[in-house]
Amino acid sequence: MTRVIVAASPIYGHFAPMRAIAADLVRRGHHVTVTTGSNCREAVEAVGARFAPLLGAADFDGDDVPALFPEILSIPPGPEQLGFGLQHLFIDPLPDQHRTLQELLAEASAEGEPVVVLHETGFLGAWPTRFGAGGLRPAAVVGLGVVPLTISSQDTAPFGLGLAPDNSPEGRERNRAANTMVQEAVFASTQEHLVKVLASCGATEPVPFVLDGMSRVPDRFLQMSIAQLDYPRSDLPDSIRYVGALPVGSGKKAGLPRWWDEVASARRVVVVSQGTAANIDFTELVQPALDALADLDVLVVATLGRDAELERVPANARVAEFIPFDDLLPHTDVLVSNGGYGGVQQALGLGVPMVLAGQTEDKTEVTARAAWTGAAINLATQRPKAEDVRAAVETVLADTTYRQRAAELAAEYARHDALTTIHETVTELGRPVV
């Protein structure tokens, strides 16, 4: 079978799907090495893959980003915060990611085997040799889209603004102006930083805009989603393909709480979650949602993603540190979430409509795209008012079109097999050239 290097930034939302993919490739008989942060060693080795730690500055603990970069907490959600994250979490580690890949490729070269590098959206360590730097190149580089597609288009506003698509003549003029503004002003310093970092690695060729290159640079880019959760683009490159989401059951495992029977028997269940990344301050969404739904005839289940206590827990609410969405969502009538990409896709894959409120990381785009599908209400804020959460939940419960649209998307997810497509792609691109 094929020799594969799976490369991931050591940030949970970027690493977790790559771990599931690595596990599947191991099961199918591929020779898999996973390179990521040292904090992920145990999780990698548990699935039978070989672990190779990233070198130098690339080996950081992604669970500790606020401590590593406390200034990010003072930057308001939006393009400025996104630019800061791009520079410090994804561009700065690039040279050591490149150095790590070169060592692994040299090892494989000594054994005379072709290698496919499989990396997630934010891992840029394969870029230097794509732009003129010396060094070994794999048989192919395959990108995996673990965040919404970031590529520019004449039919869409720039990534990060949360605007609906518009391919009318007026809309395309809006898009052109906005894309120019974002590339030449908002992200100008980020792009300059990328160019300098790549030059320090020996790159000599022109570099694409960072948000475009994430999906354009790989030989093939597999977006871990369905086209219906994205905006249509008439100018999408042929190398980009939608392959569906990871199957239910590929995530973190945990036991069920002692009150689980209440969930299974409840007439209506509303789940509230701030995910695993933006869950430092529960007054942003979890607490307002619990307050808003306190006297509604539903069972509210709040999953916190970490060990914590809330100020107020109404009588109709139950709180847990973690419950696998695989178990929880089949019982759920509405998911109230800050819009993590993985969680939103799990919900839609099971036909669960949503109320969304999140603006950090990529969530401005996730929440906007989910609402655009008709399966969610987007409150478009980081801190929704309790009365707005209440009104949105009541609307989704009463208006069956949200659940109907979610069911249609679930059927589309069911038509895809992401893991098989990844396996077939790796096998195809990893064949020795005769």
402 and 424 in a single domain? The answer is no
**What is the number of domains present in the chain?**
2
76 and 123 in a single domain? The answer is yes
| Residue of 159, 137, 167, 162 whose CA lies nearest to 212 | 159
| Residue of 246, 222, 224, 244 whose CA lies nearest to 428 | 222
Contacts of 282 by beta carbon, 8 Å cutoff, 6+ apart: 274, 304, 308, 310
Look up the domain containing 120 and give its range: 3-244+416-429
The verdict on residue 60 lying in a domain is yes
- DSSP string for residues in 36-99: E-GGGHHHHHTTT-EEEEPPGGG---GGGHHHH-GGGGGSPTTHHHHHHHIIIIIITTHHHHHH
The verdict on residue 198 lying in a domain is yes
The verdict on residue 249 lying in a domain is no
pLDDT of residue 305: 86
Element (H, E) at 5: strand 3-7
What does each C-alpha distance from 208 to 51, 156, 220, 390 come to in angstroms? 31, 18, 16, 44
294 and 233 in a single domain? The answer is no
CATH number of the domain encompassing residue 236: 3.40.50.2000
pLDDT of residue 411: 98
272 and 323 in a single domain? The answer is yes
391 and 420 in a single domain? The answer is no
The verdict on residue 350 lying in a domain is yes
Extract the residue ranges of the chain whose pLDDT is less than 50: 434
119 and 232 in a single domain? The answer is yes
147 and 80 in a single domain? The answer is yes
100 and 36 in a single domain? The answer is yes
pLDDT of residue 362: 92
**Residue 184 per-residue DSSP state:** I
The verdict on residue 329 lying in a domain is yes
Compute how many other C-beta atoms are within 10 angstroms of the C-beta atom of residue 307: 7
212 and 275 in a single domain? The answer is no
308 and 240 in a single domain? The answer is no
230 and 313 in a single domain? The answer is no
The verdict on residue 298 lying in a domain is yes
The verdict on residue 389 lying in a domain is yes
* Global confidence as pTM: 0.94
State the Cα–Cα distance between residues 240 and 220, nearest whole angstrom.
Answer: 6
State the Cα–Cα distance between residues 152 and 29, nearest whole angstrom.
Answer: 37
27 and 174 in a single domain? The answer is yes
The verdict on residue 252 lying in a domain is no
